[in-house]
Amino acid sequence: MTSRYKRALVTGGAGFIGSHLARALLAEGLEVVVLDDLSLGKRSNLPKGTQFIEGNICDPVPVSRALEGVDIVFHNAARVSVRASISQYVEDAQVNVFGTLSLLRALVGTRVSKFVLASSMAVYSDSETPVPIDEGFSQRPLSPYGTGKLAAELYALQICAAHGIDVVPLRYFNTYGPGQAFTAYVGVVTIFATKLLRGEQPTIFGDGLQVRDFVSVHDIVQGNLRAMHSDVTGQVFNIGSGIGVSVQEICQLLIAKIAPDISPLYAAAQPGETRNSIANIELARQRLDYQPTRSFERDVDEVIEALAAS
């Protein structure tokens, strides 16, 4: 499909999701600019052919440079830890809320005609049962991270509408895939697999029966491309697999593949994390023609191989 856009900015484009997205946009024939402060992203993640600008989204100088000639923005730069946001709520808001506002202010009056925002399933309240939730589900976030992401959505919808810029916030569910950096807080699949590859016991917080929607980074990228090609604006979409899997099931599957003799440790449940979180993706199917093509069972070997090689 030929894109109406010529030059894209991907904030956070040296990170996990952003680098996959940048690569896909290049494959679609767009010029791609990446803005990243390398706080978590790596230069080695940058696809060949991107223009890289090192800088923070709160700094107007690199942001202004990055926006030169750009007609579509994919905003993925963020602090992404629910657990860390519990204590570091000021730092979380500085990037996820004020950073988004700084970027929005900078793009007003430029050539940018579309803004695709990476939001999160953390904007939702907890679901009492493991059933898919749609975009109208209760939005009383359990963490400062979720609160910040919800605020960023609302600001983006209001500011873009006021300035005639198309806007599509995408609520990512639990993303996994090759290239995700190992940290103690983010990406349970990467955390479990990395621990097992090191011969260490993975830790399950809570009873492990909490249910999540694990969505491939390749499908997250597909959701972004569908949002780019769509005429839809002012609408928020869930981007997930639509399938719920318990954390315990994920852990046991990885143990079976990597280290069958290792058993998990259990620790107290962490504050700010939902019990059940599964995406109802019907709206994205209908309005964006989004259709997940990956499954954890088929893709898990790709993740393990990438981690083993890193």
Distance CA 303, CA 179 (A): 8
Token pair, residue 292, equals 């997940």
Residue 71 and residue 47 in contact, taking contact as beta carbons nearer than 8 Å: no
89 noted as active-site residue? no
- CA-derived radius of gyration, the chain: 19
Q: Count of CB atoms within 10 A of residue 159's CB?
A: 18
Helix (H) or strand (E) holding 52: strand 51-54
Residue 51 and residue 90 in contact, taking contact as beta carbons nearer than 8 Å: no
Backbone φ/ψ region at 31: left (φ over 0), alpha (ψ -120 to 50), beta: beta
Buried b (16+ CB within 10 A) or exposed e, 43-63: eebbbeebbbbebbbbeeebb
115: three-class secondary structure by DSSP: strand
| Cα dist from 58 to 7, 38, 66, 151, whole Å | 22, 14, 13, 16
Q: Which of 145, 172, 176, 290 is catalytic?
A: 145
- Residue numbers annotated as active site: 145
